[in-house]
Amino acid sequence: MDSDLFEADHLAYADSVRRFVARDVVPHLDSWEENREIDRSVWTAAGRQGLLGLAVPEQYGGSGVTDYRFRVALINELARVGASSLQSGFSTNDDIVLNYLLRLADEEQSQRWLPGFTTGETIGAIAMTEPGTGSDLQGITTTAARVDGGWRLSGSKTFITSGILADLVIVVARTDADAGSKGFTLFVVEEGMAGFRRGRKLRKVGLQAQDTAELFFDDVVVPDANVLGEVGGAFGHLMDSLPLERLGIALAGQFSAEAALRWTVDYVRERRAFGKAIGDFQNTSFTLADHVSRTEACRAYLDRAVERYNAGTLTPEDAAKTKLIATENQWAVLDACVQLHGGYGYMLEYPVARAFTDARIQRIYGGTNEIMRLIIGRHELSRAS
Annotated catalytic residue 245:
yes
| 382: three-class secondary structure by DSSP | helix
Q: Which of 130, 214, 245, 258 is catalytic?
A: 245
CA 326 vs CA 4, 38, 135, 256: distances in Å: 18, 26, 20, 10
Q: How far is CA 114 from CA 54, 70, 109, in A?
A: 11, 19, 8
Cα–Cα dist 244/103, whole Å: 13
Cα separation values, 341 from 270, 272, 279, 288, 356, Å: 11, 11, 11, 12, 12
Contact (Cβ atoms closer than 8 angstroms) between residue 227 and residue 185: yes
Residue 349 DSSP symbol: T
Phi-psi region of 149 (alpha: psi -120 to 50; beta: other; left: phi over 0): left
In 237-337, DSSP assigns E strands to 272-273, 276-277
Q: How far apart are CA 366 and CA 97, in angstroms?
A: 13
Bin 207: left if φ > 0, else alpha if -120 < ψ < 50, else beta: left
Pick from 75, 85, 3: nearest CA to 36: 85
Judge residue 65's burial from the number of C-beta atoms within 10 Å of its C-beta, 0-12 exposed, 13-18 middle, 19 or more buried. Answer: middle
DSSP class of 165? T
Distance CA 345, CA 237 (A): 42
- Measure the CA–CA gap between 191 and 266, rounded to whole angstroms: 46
**So which residues are the catalytic ones?**
245
